[in-house]
């Protein structure tokens, strides 16, 4: 790597230098095994791939080994899960394996807020970094526009039903839907952390200025449209799912769908090109497919089923990533994504850092932008050992699925040998393999031990089983996830949540939907302040949403927002453009 030194260069500087020697698109496509016409270039450095052509050609080909990357409960800084995903792809490449990564597209919210981009870091990142982090090929804009088109249709219909009598509606070919303005299920979408838009009043003015009511905005990646992009298997499947989105209820509590508004076809039109996965590469030249969005705390948080299915036909090893920690990201991968795709993992990696484990042991609060406390820079085995309770809990979650995980200790320069050995010892005692990985500093060379252990585990036979059967009542599922995955002693419900659960369980069709829990990613519990492995707490379910198009119901635990907020020291303060070259500076 020579001049690419992560100890003296920022991530964007490493990416910019690495792009000078990146593989041409045609070579990357050839290495991935694409045939003529299956690469869809978007400029000189980006491309989409024609998933339908590839699937038609390779649907009967052998399926590659499937590896999921998850993690312990993170600090607000994140623990390098995407960096590890890319590092493992590079490490498997060093072992001569035919390998591909599948990751999610970054959201503009965290990219311009506190967390920054999701391109990886150090010598384990994907390039080209700037277009990857800002817009890529426009999939998120397509999701945003398709979602907002549903809101346009809904609010316009409410206005016209208020202003027109039945004769006028009939002449227009419309039937009166009698939408209840107090029972609208979706909000407007924007791909930024815009807390000022969480609760707004729309339709102010005269009768031609819309229907006045309470509304708000959610971050685009939490949209059901993004969820459908993640789980759809093809265009026909996406089209059917788009028609099932419940946008509101009428005055008799009957669902109003996008099909009722006759907007489902137009919404699908926005999504046709977005259904093709995006192709980028690691700085060592391995292919990475980028598709669907992040935020497993408020969404499914997985790369798309389409990307994973295609990748497992093109490569011998596929490394994918689930959002946040094993309690939410892996649980959704396990019980939603795998069930929908038919794929089963051959190995699971749990990423941990000494820094996060010390925090879970009672270390000082870790805040973005603030200097790390001395406890995180000096050896402290007692703090670390206490915090490993969180690691053991996440190992147990993965083992509950029937997979023996590999714990990857993402090495920081402040970690001591005694600390690294202690984490390995505790992980192995809990029934996992363990590997220290230095991929941030050394790229694929630093991930060889991890790659070897993952490749070995991937050859083993596993008794992979889902946590619940779809016939299990929703309330029982929620309590199973709460007690066996999160470690709660029980569950409490608001009256609104209980009423919705009762109605859903009475509907045989709804009983066939999966369960996508919404809760904080900063704790095994619903309370972000409860670190380590909390005990003796109850999970409060405040509400339940229905994502019928995506194929699951969404219980909401605790006080969590579908629209994050922008912090006081956001990343956008450091991002600028060199006006002479047009190059973006300051992304991290």
For 140-173, b/e burial (b = at least 16 CB within 10 A) is bbbbbbbbbbbbbbbbebbbebeeeeeeebeeee
Domain assignment present for residue 20? The answer is no
- 321 neighbors 43 (Cβ within 8 angstroms): no
Please tell me whether residues 427 and 494 are part of one structural domain: no
Domain assignment present for residue 45? The answer is no
Opening angle at CA 276, ends 245 and 44, nearest 5:
140
| Count: domains in the chain | 3
Domain ends where: 458, 493, 522? Answer: 458
Q: CA-CA distance, 155 to 149, in Å (whole number)?
A: 10
Q: CA-CA distance, 166 to 354, in Å (whole number)?
A: 66
Q: Please check the confidence at residue 217 and state whether its pLDDT lies above 90.
A: yes
The CATH number of whichever domain residue 435 belongs to comes to 3.40.50.300
Please tell me whether residues 210 and 326 are part of one structural domain: no
Opening angle at CA 516, ends 534 and 537, nearest 5:
20
Q: Is 188 in the active site?
A: no
% of the chain exceeding 70 in pLDDT = 99
For 66-76, b/e burial (b = at least 16 CB within 10 A) is bbbbbbbbbbb
For residue range 226-238, list pLDDT tens digits in order: 999 999 999 999 9
Please tell me whether residues 239 and 298 are part of one structural domain: no
For residue range 26-66, list pLDDT tens digits in order: 999 999 999 999 999 999 999 999 999 999 999 999 999 99
Q: Is 324 in the active site?
A: yes
Please tell me whether residues 264 and 328 are part of one structural domain: no
Domain span holding position 172? 139-270
Give the confidence band of 498 by pLDDT, cuts at 50, 70, 90: very high
Please tell me whether residues 305 and 453 are part of one structural domain: yes
Q: Is 85 in the active site?
A: no
Q: What is the pLDDT of residue 368?
A: 77
Q: Please check the confidence at residue 380 and state whether its pLDDT lies above 70.
A: yes
For 397-430, b/e burial (b = at least 16 CB within 10 A) is bbeebebebbbbbbbbeebeeebbebbbebbeeb
Please tell me whether residues 258 and 174 are part of one structural domain: yes
Please tell me whether residues 190 and 300 are part of one structural domain: no
Domain assignment present for residue 124? The answer is no
Looking at 45, 65, 94, 104, which residue is catalytic?
A: 104
Domain assignment present for residue 56? The answer is no
Q: CA-CA distance, 402 to 73, in Å (whole number)?
A: 21
Please compute the mean of the pLDDT values over residues 258-266 and round it to a whole number.
Answer: 98
Q: Is 311 in the active site?
A: no
Q: Is 334 in the active site?
A: no
* Sign (positive or negative) of CA dihedral 566, 568, 573, 575: negative
The CATH number of whichever domain residue 489 belongs to comes to 3.10.410.10
Q: What is the pLDDT of residue 548?
A: 93
Opening angle at CA 296, ends 144 and 576, nearest 5:
55
Residues in the chain, overall count: 588
Domain assignment present for residue 275? The answer is no
Please compute the mean of the pLDDT values over residues 84-99 and round it to a whole number.
Answer: 98
Please tell me whether residues 498 and 529 are part of one structural domain: yes
Q: Is 81 in the active site?
A: yes
Q: Is 45 in the active site?
A: no
Please tell me whether residues 391 and 447 are part of one structural domain: yes
Kind of pairing between the strands at 287-290 and 278-282: antiparallel
Please tell me whether residues 247 and 205 are part of one structural domain: yes
Looking at 70, 73, 83, 137, which residue is catalytic?
A: 83
When the pLDDT of each residue in the chain is averaged and rounded to a whole number, the result is: 94
DSSP state of 184: E
Domain ends where: 392, 423, 458? Answer: 458
Domain ends where: 215, 238, 270? Answer: 270
Q: Is 411 in the active site?
A: no
First to last CA, the chain: 20
Looking at 65, 94, 97, 115, which residue is catalytic?
A: 115
Please compute the mean of the pLDDT values over residues 550-575 and round it to a whole number.
Answer: 88
The CATH number of whichever domain residue 144 belongs to comes to 3.30.1510.10
Please tell me whether residues 429 and 490 are part of one structural domain: no
Domain assignment present for residue 587? The answer is no
Domain assignment present for residue 329? The answer is yes
Q: What is the pLDDT of residue 533?
A: 97
Alpha helices (runs of H) in 379-447, residue ranges in sequence order: 381-400, 417-429, 439-442
Looking at 244, 412, 427, 482, which residue is catalytic?
A: 412
Domain assignment present for residue 132? The answer is no
Please compute the mean of the pLDDT values over residues 363-369 and round it to a whole number.
Answer: 86
Kind of pairing between the strands at 65-71 and 46-49: unpaired
Please tell me whether residues 307 and 176 are part of one structural domain: no
Question: E strands within 307-426?
Answer: 317-321, 347-352, 406-410
């Amino acid at each position: 790597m020579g001049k690419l030194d992560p100890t003296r260069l920022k991530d964007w500087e490493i990416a910019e230098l690495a792009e000078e020697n990146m593989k041409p698109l045609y070579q990357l496509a050839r290495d991935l095994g694409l045939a003529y016409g299956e690469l869809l270039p978007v400029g000189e450095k980006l491309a989409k791939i024609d998933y339908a052509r590839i699937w038609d050609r390779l649907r009967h080909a052998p399926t590659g080994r499937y590896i999921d990357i998850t993690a312990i409960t993170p600090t607000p800084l994140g623990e390098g899960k995407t960096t590890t995903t890319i590092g493992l792809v590079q490490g498997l490449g060093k072992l001569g394996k035919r390998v591909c990564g599948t990751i999610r597209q970054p959201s503009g919210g965290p990219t311009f807020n506190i967390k920054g981009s999701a391109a990886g870091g150090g010598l384990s990142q994907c390039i080209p970094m700037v277009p990857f982090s800002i817009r890529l090929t426009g999939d998120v804009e397509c999701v945003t526009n398709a979602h907002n088109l549903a809101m346009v249709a809904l609010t316009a219909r409410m206005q016209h039903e208020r202003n027109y009598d039945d004769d006028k509606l009939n002449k227009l070919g419309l039937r009166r839907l009698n939408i209840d303005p107090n029972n609208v299920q979706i909000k407007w979408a924007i791909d930024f952390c815009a807390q000022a838009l969480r609760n707004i009043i729309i339709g102010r003015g005269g009768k031609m200025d819309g229907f006045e009511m309470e509304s708000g905005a959610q971050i685009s990646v939490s949209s059901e449209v993004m969820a459908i992009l993640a789980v759809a298997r093809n265009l026909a499947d996406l089209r059917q799912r788009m028609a099932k989105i419940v946008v509101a209820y009428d005055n008799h509590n009957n669902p109003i769908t996008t099909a009722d508004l006759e907007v489902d076809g137009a919404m699908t039109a926005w999504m046709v090109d977005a259904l093709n996965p995006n192709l980028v590469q690691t700085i060592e030249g391995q292919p990475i497919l980028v598709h669907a969005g992040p935020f497993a705390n408020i969404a499914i948080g997985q790369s798309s089923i389409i990307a994973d299915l295609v990748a497992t036909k093109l490569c011998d090893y596929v490394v994918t990533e689930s959002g946040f920690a094993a309690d939410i990201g892996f649980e959704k991968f396990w019980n939603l994504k795998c069930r929908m795709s038919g794929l089963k993992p051959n190995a699971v990696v749990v990423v941990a850092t000494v820094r996060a484990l010390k925090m879970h042991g009672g270390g000082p609060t870790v805040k973005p932008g603030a200097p790390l406390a001395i406890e995180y820079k000096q050896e402290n085995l007692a703090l670390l050992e206490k915090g490993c309770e969180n690691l053991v809990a996440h190992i147990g979650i993965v083992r509950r699925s029937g997979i023996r995980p590999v714990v990857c200790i993402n090495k920081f320069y402040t970690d001591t040998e005694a600390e690294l050995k202690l984490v390995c010892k505790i992980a192995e005692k809990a029934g996992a393999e363990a590997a220290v990985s230095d991929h941030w500093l050394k790229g694929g060379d630093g991930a060889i031990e991890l790659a070897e252990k993952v490749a070995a585990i991937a050859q083993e036979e596993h008794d992979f089983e889902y946590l619940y059967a779809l016939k299990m009542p929703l309330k029982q599922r929620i309590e199973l996830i709460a007690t066996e995955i999160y470690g709660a002693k029980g569950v409490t419900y608001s009256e609104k949540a209980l009423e919705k659960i009762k109605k859903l369980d009475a509907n045989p069709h709804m009983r066939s939907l999966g369960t996508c829990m919404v809760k904080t990613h900063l704790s095994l519990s619903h309370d972000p302040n409860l670190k380590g492995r909390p005990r003796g707490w109850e999970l409060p379910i405040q509400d339940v949403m229905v994502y019928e198009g995506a194929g699951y119901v969404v219980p909401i635990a605790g006080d969590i927002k579908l629209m994050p907020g922008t912090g006081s020291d956001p990343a956008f303060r450091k991002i600028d453009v060199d006006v002479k070259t047009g190059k973006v500076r300051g992304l991290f």
